[in-house]
Amino acid sequence: MFRHPQKTLRTVGKKRRGTFRARVERLETRQLLSGAPWLRLAADAPTLEERYDYFIGTPYATDSASAATALATGYKTDEGNVAWLPGDPNTGGRGDGGLTTIAEKLRAERGFSIGVASTVPFSHATPAGFVSHNTSRNNYTQIAHEIIYTVQPEVVIGGGNRNWDTKYISAADQAALEAGATAYTYVGRQTGVDGGDALAAVAATVDLIAGEKLFGLFGGAGGNFEYYQVLDTPGTVSITQGGNADNPTLADTVTASLSVLGQDPDGFFVMFEQGDIDWSNHANNYANMIGGVYDLDQAVRAAEAFVNRPGDRITWNNTLMIVTADHSNSYMRLLQWTGKGDLPDNIAKTGQTVVPGVTQVSYSSTNHTNELVNLYARGKGANLFENVAGSWYPGTQIVDNTQVYHVMCKAATKGVDHIILFIGDGMNIEHEMACSRERSRGPVGRPQDTGTVYQNAGCRQGPDGNSEGGGVPQRWACTESSKN
């Protein structure tokens, strides 16, 4: 990912309805490029691309909880619901409204080990949507408790350590983790200790076959790993892990997670979330966004390297890797190409003050948008996306977010033993291109070997019904504007 095709940037206008024209992508139509590992589909969607009002209308965009639910269960649900049916049926048991997630399904049916890792709190909406069930994403301590004591994924790594932010796990539950009184081998953030090294060292002791599990509890103030530091150094790339190295990088969580989950001869499902991209976009913080996309890119590369390792049972013939987003955010547009290492001039070097008259980058929102997001797939089963692309959106190659769930289910019946799902929270192609620009040079994207199919994470397009196999009355995941 993040290796973009040559493209024509025809973004004109910003807030003038009717004059906006989005990028027009001209990718080769539906084909697997010879020699290129990533699936690549055409992504024309002119009827959507020109609809600025649709993109930006605040009632339309999904939040991370309902989007995670769609990806994890195949059901669209109300905003804020975590793997729970719309309308919040709830008379005291999960059976009322709790939805079986892809992780739980593959564990039950295939004996897969399961894991989640995130740069934001482990009990936050996106990981929660894969390994917990709740009528509200805001019930962080309930969600954390269910993850630790009920669902018990084999691997959980994320932010939310109470020593830095107390919202995301109860004191009793963190104390139990620290005391070794749970099912987990625990590693937590310690001041002055390299988080990536500590995580790797503890992961190396976890014997999955013996029933051991790994829990890594990191994070800083605000719950998330510290943002990267991205400096305005034209001609030179300067992107470094922010704060200190007490937190792991997302790549560190990938290597640690896969070293544990990869022990399972039956296979595994794992979801990795780069959550800082979304938080940065809410703040219209361009530099932090670049750092988040960079972190995600490094993590994807780490996962690819893990699959590429010789001498184990994990290969591209039995592994499906997906990289996508849950929704977009901020309607950011890089209006002029900036150079390598060069932050846009209307972004203050230390923050976000817009310099009047300089318009290299624009933001039109501090909230989620209904822009299409990219979806990349590599490995066994990647071609299954070809079968669903456009089926809900005739004339396009768009995949609905609920269809991602169905593709993962089908892949697991067709020889895929390892599913690695990356979610760049709040990321769309503009953010990916901005990061590519920051890291390379030239007026166009880098020569690409990357595939992309647009995924509609929104909630107002498509037929009024779940995609195949849903079986529950449809309710779109959008009743109010999203905050997280």
Binding positions for Zn ion, rule: CB under 5 A: 278, 484
Q: How far is the CB of 214 from Zn ion (least distance, A)?
A: 27
Nearer to Zn ion, 185 or 365 (CB): 365
* DSSP characters over 146-176: HIIIII--SEEEEE--TTT-TTSS-HHHHHH
* Integer angstrom CA distances of residue 70 from 80, 104, 129, 415, 419: 12, 15, 9, 24, 17
CA atoms within 13 A on the CB side of 288: 21
Q: How far is the CB of 158 from Zn ion (least distance, A)?
A: 16
Q: How far is the CB of 278 from Zn ion (least distance, A)?
A: 4
Q: Which residues, 6 or more positions from 39, have their beta carbon under 8 angstroms from its beta carbon?
A: 32, 376, 377, 378, 382, 383, 385, 386, 451, 453
Nearer to Zn ion, 101 or 484 (CB): 484
CA atoms within 13 A on the CB side of 298: 19
Q: How far is the CB of 272 from Zn ion (least distance, A)?
A: 17
Nearer to Zn ion, 134 or 448 (CB): 134
Q: How far is the CB of 58 from Zn ion (least distance, A)?
A: 13
Nearer to Zn ion, 365 or 484 (CB): 484
Q: How far is the CB of 397 from Zn ion (least distance, A)?
A: 26
Nearer to Zn ion, 135 or 484 (CB): 484
Contact 274, 117 (CB under 8 A): no
Strands 361-362 and 229-230: unpaired
- C-alpha closest to that of 304 among 448, 451, 420: 420
| Terminal alpha carbon distance of the chain | 25
Secondary structure of residue 421 in the 3-state scheme: strand
Q: How far is the CB of 329 from Zn ion (least distance, A)?
A: 6
Q: How far is the CB of 120 from Zn ion (least distance, A)?
A: 10
Distance in angstroms (rounded) separating the CA atoms of residues 39 and 449 = 9
Q: Which residue is nearest to Zn ion (CB)?
A: 278
- C-alpha closest to that of 7 among 448, 376, 435: 448
Q: How far is the CB of 436 from Zn ion (least distance, A)?
A: 23
Nearer to Zn ion, 124 or 380 (CB): 124
CA dihedral of 127, 133, 138, 139, whole degrees rounded to 10? -120
Nearer to Zn ion, 79 or 278 (CB): 278
- C-alpha closest to that of 279 among 394, 434, 124: 124
Nearer to Zn ion, 56 or 303 (CB): 56
Nearer to Zn ion, 368 or 418 (CB): 368
